[in-house]
Structure 1
Amino acid sequence: MNAVPTQRGAQPLAVGPVRDLRGTTARGPHRLRFPAGDIVVVSGLPGGGKSTLIKRAAEGGGIDSQDTRERWERRMPAALPYAAYRPAVRLAHYWGLWRRLRSGASVVVHDCGTQSWVRALLAGAARRRGRALHLLLLDTTAEEALSGQLARGRRVSAYAFARHRGAVRRLLREAESGRLPAGCASAVLLDRRSAAAVAAITFHP
């Protein structure tokens, strides 16, 4: 049930419940492969590159709450603050996610995966279909994440960012000590360099 990160033209990288690809210097793109039907959640700081990774590499596309927000923003009056329709965006996002999970298809999810209740819901969905949940955790600095937020033209509040930083730190501590976050069958740690080298996130029978 474990993910198998592989590098094009090379032997698979070490397989285990926690794989640390941060600081990877191997040349060429590599692929992250998971068993068909499994669920992958991509977590990390806001602005850390989660959406970029999913859009570039996820086989069949992913479920990204940011995409849902942007669709609603295009339909809403510019003067209307996001907070006014945020509940509707969340509802639309989770409705789309539920439909994808119900289909039994493999899925890559970008969500508030740093929150344990979200991982618990995804892990439960994986168990009900007899499959597993995997975590891709992007380890970026606060400066890198804030730069990413600035580049996309949207900043999260200082309070929300601090909460995310605390959650990411806890996940990193668990993974670095060899412990998997609750509900996860494997974890892969990426920094910006190794994430940029991921050519594809795929699922195999």
Structure 2
Amino acid sequence: MPRAGSAAAVRAAGPSGLSEPVLRPRGLHDQRRDRPGQVPAGPAPAALHYRADDLLVVSGLPGSGKSTLMRRCITAGLVDSQQVREEYAARLPGWLPYFVYRPLVRAAHYRRLRRAVLDGGPLAVHDCGALPWVRRWLVRAAARQGRRVHLILLDAAAGEARDGQHARGQRVSAYAFARHRESARRLRRRLAGTGEPPAGCASAVVLDRAGARALREIVFVAS
């Protein structure tokens, strides 16, 4: 995948007080570090900085670490479908399979997402990936508000994603997982083919597990 985007990595004081690389994404930034033949373009960023009114979409396979990354690095403006699922699971009998109440989780998540988008302000959204229309709707809604949309893609291999699902005691059906894999494959191919973020996105940052682990914070800052 080509590396486009500007050289927007700078050194800044991080949480530890030490000088750490900060990336202010513009264009496409391929930050994958543990793929065979991958040549890192400098140190992995410890922080991603976006404008205060930006909308960030975090996408990737189920089990790739989206929720983990968002909860570790983002402190405000977070809409995570996994959090909605956990809220329902805590209220319902443990023997009830997820597929039974999944429609309720999705409806609640989209209601929460719509309300958050209309409220404005910084926002980070967990993108399930298998439903590209959600990302397209976010792009259109943000454009009407004069806001920019950014993408983070966690590029985990299928085996890594399956391990992530098992680690949190969840399982995605073979059919659903295949849909997610196909959606992620199309997105990776589009990024590789154009060398640019998806239509309507101001930037795209591609991370593997090593790059995701290096991140300490994702911050929305006043421009």
- TM norm structure 1: 0.90
Change (3 A) 1:7 1:55: farther
Shift of residue 29 of structure 1? 5.9
Amino acid at match of 1:58: I
Q: In 2, Cα distance between the equivalents of 1:131 and 1:122?
A: 10
SS in 1 for 2:216: strand
Q: Does 1:45 align with 2:61?
A: yes
2:97 to 71, 77, 81: 81
Shift of 1:14: 8.5
Structure 2 residue identity aligned to 1:33: H
2:196 maps to 179
Residues 5-154 of structure 1: pairs in structure 2 closer than 5 A:
6=10, 8=12, 9=19, 16-23=26-33, 24=40, 30-60=46-76, 62-154=78-170
CA distance in 1, matches of 2:155, 2:184: 8
- Write the distance in 2 (CA, Å) between the matches of 1:29 and 1:11: 5
Over 3 Å counting, the alpha-carbon distance change for 1:169 and 1:56 in structure 2 is same
Shift of 1:25: 8.3
RMSD between aligned alpha carbons? 2.3
Distance verdict in 2 for CA 1:6–1:93, change over 3 Å: farther
Percent of aligned pairs sharing the same letter? 49
Structure 2 residues not aligned, in runs of 5+? 13-18, 34-39
| 1:179 Cα offset (Å) | 3.1
After TM superposition, where is structure 1 displaced by more than 3 Å over at least 4 residues in a row?
Answer: 2-8, 10-16, 24-29
Deviations along 1:5-56, whole A, 9 cap, x unmatched? 5554256558541001111486686111111111111001110010110000
Matching of residue 189 in structure 1 with residue 206 in structure 2: yes
Look up the SS of the partner of 1:41 in the other structure.
strand
In structure 2, how many angstroms separate the alpha carbons of the residues matched to 1:37 and 1:14? 14
SS at match of 1:69: helix
**Aligned partners of 1:133 and 1:185 also within 8 Å:** yes
The number of equivalent residue pairs is 204
* Structure 2 partner of 1:169: 185
CA distance in 2, matches of 1:55, 1:14: 20
What is the TM-score with the length of structure 2 in the denominator? 0.83
Shift of 1:111: 2.4
Q: Secondary structure at the match of 1:136?
A: strand
